[in-house]
Amino acid sequence: MKRILLFALAATLLSACAFSLPGKIAQIADKVAAKGADFTPEQWQKTNAQFEKLVKQYVDEYDKFSTEEKKKANAAIGKYTATAIKCGVADAAKEVNALLKKVPDSVDAAVEGARGFLEELGL
């Protein structure tokens, strides 16, 4: 019985992290990093709209997040932006960067995240 309760608690905690706003941002960034090169223009348009909505919500609620949540979101935003640039979707990067200018310290972190991701890609 203890194992079942522990498993249920662990599953709940994991799902809570995935459904947090930084978790959602990271989830889309990971998806785009893995499959973005094969996206059609329509897929990019749909994904960009979703991502921009999440980033806007993140900017609007920025002060509510912990330092760790901000780091996770900023790294994911950087990863998404770097992938969009790599895949030739400059409009997406411009939109995200415009939103981030409303939160100055997140811009630096997101740019740093993009720089690190591009270095990982060897670019």
Condensed to tens digits (0 to 9), the pLDDT of residues 69-118 reads 988 998 898 888 888 888 877 666 666 666 666 665 655 566 566 555 55
In terms of C-beta density within 10 A (0-12 exposed, 13-18 middle, 19 or more buried), how is residue 72 classed? buried
pLDDT of residue 91: 64
Residue 83 in contact with residue 43, Cβ under 8 Å? no
pLDDT of residue 16: 43
Per residue in 37-55, pLDDT (tens digit) is 899 989 988 998 999 899 8
Q: Which residue has the tokens 């609007």?
A: 60
pLDDT of residue 46: 93
Nearest to 103 by CA among 66, 55, 67: 55
pLDDT of residue 65: 92
Tell me, what amino acid is at 39?
A: F
Does position 57 have pLDDT exceeding 90, yes or no? yes
Joined together, the tokens standing for residue 60 give 């609007």
Count CA within 13 A, CB hemisphere, residue 14: 6
Residue 55 in contact with residue 84, Cβ under 8 Å? no
Residue 19 banded pLDDT, cuts 50, 70, 90: confident
Round the average pLDDT of the chain to a whole number and report it.
75
The 8-class DSSP code of residue 98 comes to H
